[in-house]
């Protein structure tokens, strides 16, 4: 009878063999390509990591910090020739 432990052990052995094969392939690359492969692996791992939730902004948190010039709504001199 086939035991579950055999299945698990076979799966682990397969993972180890795949890791060794990948290690061998990466090591056979020239150093500049190994660095590029390492950067790509870092990129893939960064995609995998969970994204941080953005904090909700609190309405009015800049109230009183921004001042608008009182002449803001007055027409601009540059557009006077287009105005009636």
Chain segment 67-76, per-residue pLDDT in tens: 888 888 888 8
The average pLDDT across 45-63 equals 81
Asked if 21 contacts 32 with a C-beta cutoff of 8 angstroms, the reply is no
Give the rounded distance of the alpha carbon of 46 from its chain centre: 6
pLDDT, greater one: 29 or 56: 29
Predicted TM-score (pTM) of the model is: 0.43
Residue 52 in this model has a pLDDT that exceeds 80: no
Residue for token pair 């002449």: 71
Sequence-distant (≥ 6) Cβ neighbours of residue 75 within 8 angstroms: 83
- Burial class of 53 by CB neighbour count within 10 A (0 to 12, 13 to 18, 19+): exposed
């Amino acid at each position: 009878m086939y035991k579950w432990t055999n299945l698990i052990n076979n799966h682990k052995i397969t993972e180890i063999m795949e890791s060794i094969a990948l290690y061998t392939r990466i090591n056979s690359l020239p150093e500049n390509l190994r660095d590029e492969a390492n950067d790509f692996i870092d990129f893939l791992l960064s995609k995998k990591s969970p994204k941080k939730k953005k904090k909700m902004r609190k309405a009015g948190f800049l109230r009183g910090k921004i001042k608008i010039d009182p002449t803001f709504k007055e027409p601009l001199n540059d557009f006077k020739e287009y105005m009636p």
